[in-house]
Each structure stands twice: as structure tokens, then as C-alpha cells.
């Protein structure tokens, strides 16, 4: 097995030299380290929105001439929906309402004209720097207000049926173990209403098939419950963000794994982090942008990150992992195959002992040994990566066919019976 250096530890190419403790054994200390590392990742991935407020930013992904204005309170998790935003160009003022993601969209009619965008939020005026209306591509502007009255709803207010979402700071983290994946769901459930919301259907989901050791992580709301693969949150969600953080262990046995997970609320922006180890990679139809972060950037392990747009509630997030470290099954398969061949050869040898056709038998036995040696050689070359899969499959099939033919010939010689036995009996053959 090839050694792979990772951090200050040494790992075997097919597994860790010191396998991690189970999730339950890690307790608060292990989970705290995990969340501190993710805080570093989040800090790198999500800048302080207040420092970005009012600064126009060219966005080539927008349609030509489009201006989008996103209005939030204090954090990216607190979108302001149904709010009026103004686009000012000289004496002309256009208005648009923000959507569920807090975005208002305008279409510039005079490219190059100086414009500003503005709104009033919780009694405070928010306005951008002047910028030129775009011609090609678009411009995105963020307007950030202080946390307002949304989070100050009367805690005695009765819960109402409604919907919650998984905010853009929600993420999935996959860490590698000894032929197992540690799956962390770090979810921020966002209720944008000014009153408690009782989700309909209830906020409940199941860990992926085969997952073990389901655990509620420190920092999750105390109302988070887990029973085997079932995860749910009791009661209503208060206005604002409620953390739901759970984890589980997903064993695997080969170099690849498909993980499928559906959530009971819209994933506002799909985001996944995968621990980078050797040739590990992740693919998903839901990943539109991806990149890597070094251990120096995260403060822990190197990570692959992938992001995509909104994933509707109930639609599975499907992640295909490849290049996973694992113990190869070939040594066991080869050992069993060779044991079977040795047993078959021993049976043929015992049946044919004392038989006739000496010259033919010796030639067949030499051929049998040569083919057997060649088969072992091909299996070893394939295991060491010195022969391609196509060539390996073709050559192995040829050798097995020839071996079977030789064994049949040896068996035919044994069934024909030893001529010396007929002479000793003094009788003519029937």
C-alpha cells in the first residue's frame, strides 16, 4: 500500500494508520474542533456583508443590462422579502419589490448613465454608491440593514402553519475515515415570518441508507431529535435562524460511493465540502461551481467545495464520490480463486494417478503449470496497476479458457482408464 502524507500524520494509501474514534466518542471536544474548522471555512467563503453594503459589483452571469439589488438584515441568512427598492437615475425613479430571496431586479435602459439604488429599512436609509448602468453583463448590489424587529416577535405568539428554508449558510461536510464517510449536516433553518412557524409537512428527514451512529451535534437546537436514521425537530421554528446540526457514519467497501439525501425544506443554495485526500473527488448534477481550499486556508484539512443553486424540498441531493481510500478486495478474490484452482488440480491429479498416456499427460501437466503461473502473474500485474482493465480482462479470460481445456484433457485421460490394469487382469477389454 502506498503511503499518503496528510497534515502531521501518516496514512496508508488504503486507510488510516490511526482510525478515527466513533462519532459518539468524540463528544463535545471533537464536534467543537469540527465547528471551529467550519467557521474558518465560512469566514473565507462568506465575507462580512456589512463591508459589502452599497458597493456595486459587476456580474457577468446576469443578463445584459440587468441590475439586481439584494436587501438583507445583518446576515445573508436574513433576506428581506416583499420590500420596495428604488433605482434612481437623475430625476427619474423606478421601483421594484424584492422576491423571496430578497432580490429586486431592474433593467437599465441607458447604458453608461449614472444611477444609484436605495431603500428604507426599519427607519434607516440604505443607498449604494453611484455606478454606470451596465450595457453588457449586469451589476449586483447588496444593501444591508441592522437586525430589525423580525427577530423580536412576541415569543407567546401562536405558531402558524408555514414554510421554512435552509439558508445559504447551510452546508454538508464529508470527512474520510477508515472505509467510512463521516457525514455532517450543518443546517440553518430560516423562518422569514414575524411569527413562529409550524412547518407543513413537519421538518423531518432520514439519514442515507446504511448510515450508522446518528448523532445530534453540540450547537443544534435542543429540539433536534434523532432515532436511528430518523431526524426531526419538535415544535415550531421561531422567526430568524434555528441551527439543526446532525451527523452519521456511512460505511463503504470500494473506491466509490453514491450518497443521496433529501431535505424537508428548500436548500436556498446547495453547498458541500469534501475532505481532500489523495485522489478523492466529488461529482453531482447539482454542483455548478467548485474549487479547492488548502489546509492553511481552512486551519484543518484540505477541502473540495461545490456549490449550486436552490434545491427544492424533497428533491434528493446526489453526491458521487470517487477515489476513496479502501482496502482492495483483489487479494481476497485472487486467494479464493487460486484455492479453487489448486483444489481442482489436486482432484484431477488424484483421479489420474497411475493412468496411461504418459507422454501426453506430462505435456498437459507442464502446460497446466505454465498457464497457472501466467494467471498468477496477470493477477499481480493488474493489482499493481501495470496492466489496463481491458487487457487484463481479455488475457485473464484466455488463460482460464486454456486452463479449462487442459483440465478437461487430463480428466479424459483419467476416465479412459490405465491400460496396465487391463493387462494385469488377464482379460481382454470389453
Which of 123, 151, 179 is the last residue before a domain boundary?
A: 151
- Residues 215, 230, single domain; the answer is yes
**Whether the Cβ atoms of residue 259 and residue 319 lie closer than 8 Å to each other:** yes
Q: What is the pLDDT of residues 49-58, one digit of tens each?
A: 777 889 999 8
Q: Structural domain tally of the chain?
A: 3
- Residues 58, 102, single domain; the answer is yes
Q: Given pLDDT bands bounded at 50, 70 and 90, which one contains residue 187? A: very high
The CATH number linked to 236 is 2.60.40
Does some domain include residue 157?
A: no
Mean pLDDT score of the chain, rounded to an integer? 77
Does some domain include residue 158?
A: no
246 Cβ neighbours under 8 A, 6+ residues apart: 184, 185, 207, 214, 215, 216, 217, 220, 224, 226, 231
How far apart are the C-alpha atoms of 166 and 191, rounded to whole Å? 9
- Residues 202, 315, single domain; the answer is yes
- Residues 116, 140, single domain; the answer is yes
Query: Which of 103-107, 145-149, 358-362 has the least mean pLDDT?
Result: 145-149
Does some domain include residue 335?
A: yes
Does some domain include residue 289?
A: yes
Does some domain include residue 272?
A: yes
- Residues 19, 87, single domain; the answer is no
Residue with cell 499493481: 384
- Residues 73, 137, single domain; the answer is yes
Q: What is the pLDDT of residue 19?
A: 35
Q: Given pLDDT bands bounded at 50, 70 and 90, which one contains residue 61? A: confident
pTM of the model: 0.48
Q: Given pLDDT bands bounded at 50, 70 and 90, which one contains residue 200? A: confident
Does some domain include residue 200?
A: yes
Q: Is pLDDT at 37 greater than 70 in this prediction?
A: no
How far apart are the C-alpha atoms of 307 and 289, rounded to whole Å? 5
- Residues 217, 244, single domain; the answer is yes
Which whole number is the average pLDDT over 62-74?
92
Q: Is pLDDT at 370 greater than 50 in this prediction?
A: yes
Q: What is the pLDDT of residues 269-305, one digit of tens each?
A: 899 999 988 888 999 999 999 999 888 887 878 899 9
Cell digits of residue 64: 445584459
Q: Is pLDDT at 24 greater than 50 in this prediction?
A: no
Phi, psi angles (nearest 5°) of residue 381: -65, -40
The CATH number linked to 99 is 2.60.40.10
Identify the bridge partners of residue 305 per DSSP, sorted by sequence position: 273, 291
Q: Given pLDDT bands bounded at 50, 70 and 90, which one contains residue 425? A: very low
- Residues 314, 339, single domain; the answer is no
Q: What is the pLDDT of residue 277?
A: 81
Rg (CA), the chain: 33
Query: Which of 143-157, 245-259, 354-368 has the least mean pLDDT?
Result: 143-157
- Residues 185, 286, single domain; the answer is yes
Q: Measure Cα distances from 61 to 139, 257, 429 in Å.
A: 9, 33, 92
- Residues 196, 230, single domain; the answer is yes
Q: What is the pLDDT of residues 266-276, one digit of tens each?
A: 999 899 999 98
Does some domain include residue 164?
A: no
Instruction: Give the CA angle between residues 269, 274, 278 to the nearest 5°.
Output: 150
Q: What is the pLDDT of residue 345?
A: 54
Does some domain include residue 161?
A: no
- Residues 275, 213, single domain; the answer is yes
Sequence length of the chain is 430
Give the range of the structural domain holding residue 186, as residue numbers without chain letter: 3-46+169-322
How far apart are the C-alpha atoms of 244 and 46, rounded to whole Å? 19
**Whether the Cβ atoms of residue 237 and residue 199 lie closer than 8 Å to each other:** yes
Which of 276, 305, 322 is the last residue before a domain boundary?
A: 322
Q: What is the pLDDT of residues 328-366, one digit of tens each?
A: 555 545 555 555 555 555 555 554 444 445 678 888 888
Q: Is pLDDT at 184 greater than 90 in this prediction?
A: yes
Which whole number is the average pLDDT over 13-23?
37
Which whole number is the average pLDDT over 11-34?
39
Which of 283, 302, 322 is the last residue before a domain boundary?
A: 322
Q: Given pLDDT bands bounded at 50, 70 and 90, which one contains residue 83? A: very high
- Residues 26, 95, single domain; the answer is no
Amino acid at each position: 500500500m502506498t503511503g499518503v502524507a496528510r497534515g502531521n500524520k501518516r496514512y496508508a494509501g488504503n486507510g488510516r494508520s490511526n482510525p478515527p474514534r466513533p462519532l459518539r466518542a468524540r463528544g463535545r471536544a471533537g464536534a467543537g474542533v469540527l465547528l471551529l474548522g467550519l467557521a474558518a471555512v465560512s469566514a473565507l467563503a462568506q465575507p462580512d456583508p456589512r463591508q459589502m453594503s452599497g458597493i456595486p459589483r459587476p456580474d457577468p452571469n446576469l443578463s445584459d443590462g440587468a441590475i439586481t439589488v439584494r436587501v438583507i438584515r445583518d446576515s445573508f441568512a436574513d433576506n428581506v422579502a416583499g420590500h420596495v427598492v428604488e433605482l434612481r437615475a437623475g430625476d427619474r425613479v423606478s421601483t421594484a419589490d424584492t422576491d423571496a430571496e430578497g432580490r429586486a431586479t431592474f433593467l437599465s435602459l441607458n447604458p453608461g448613465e449614472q444611477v444609484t439604488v436605495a431603500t428604507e429599512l426599519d427607519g434607516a436609509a440604505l443607498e449604494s454608491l453611484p455606478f454606470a448602468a451596465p450595457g453588457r453583463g449586469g451589476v449586483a448590489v447588496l444593501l444591508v440593514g441592522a437586525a430589525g424587529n423580525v427577530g423580536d416577535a412576541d415569543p407567546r405568539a401562536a405558531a402558524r402553519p408555514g414554510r421554512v428554508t435552509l439558508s445559504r449558510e447551510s452546508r454538508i461536510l464529508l470527512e474520510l475515515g477508515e472505509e467510512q464517510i463521516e457525514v455532517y449536516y450543518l443546517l440553518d433553518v430560516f423562518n422569514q415570518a414575524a411569527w413562529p412557524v409550524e412547518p407543513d409537512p413537519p421538518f423531518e428527514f432520514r439519514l442515507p441508507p446504511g448510515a450508522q451512529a446518528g448523532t445530534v451535534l453540540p450547537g443544534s437546537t435542543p429540539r433536534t431529535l434523532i432515532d436511528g436514521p430518523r431526524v426531526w425537530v419538535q415544535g415550531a421554528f421561531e422567526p430568524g435562524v434555528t441551527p439543526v446540526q446532525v451527523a452519521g457514519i456511512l460505511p463503504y467497501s470500494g473506491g466509490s460511493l453514491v450518497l443521496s439525501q433529501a431535505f424537508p425544506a428548500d436548500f436556498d443554495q446547495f453547498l458541500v465540502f469534501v475532505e481532500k485526500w489523495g485522489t478523492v473527488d466529488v461529482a453531482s448534477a447539482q454542483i455548478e461551481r467548485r474549487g479547492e481550499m488548502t489546509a492553511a486556508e481552512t486551519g484543518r484539512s484540505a477541502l473540495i467545495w461545490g456549490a449550486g443553486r436552490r434545491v427544492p424540498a424533497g428533491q434528493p441531493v446526489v453526491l458521487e464520490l470517487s477515489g476513496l481510500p479502501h482496502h482492495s478486495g483483489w487479494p481476497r478474490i485472487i486467494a479464493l480463486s487460486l484455492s479453487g484452482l489448486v483444489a481442482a488440480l489436486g482432484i484431477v491429479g488424484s483421479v489420474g494417478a497411475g493412468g496411461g498416456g504418459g507422454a501426453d499427460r506430462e505435456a498437459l501437466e507442464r502446460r497446466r503449470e505454465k498457464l497457472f503461473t501466467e494467471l498468477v502473474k496477470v493477477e499481480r500485474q493488474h493489482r499493481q496497476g501495470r496492466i489496463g482493465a481491458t487487457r487484463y480482462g481479455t488475457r485473464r479470460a484466455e488463460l482460464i479458457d486454456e486452463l479449462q481445456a487442459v483440465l478437461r484433457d487430463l480428466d479424459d485421460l483419467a476416465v479412459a482408464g490405465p491400460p496396465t490394469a487391463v493387462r494385469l487382469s488377464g482379460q481382454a477389454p470389453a
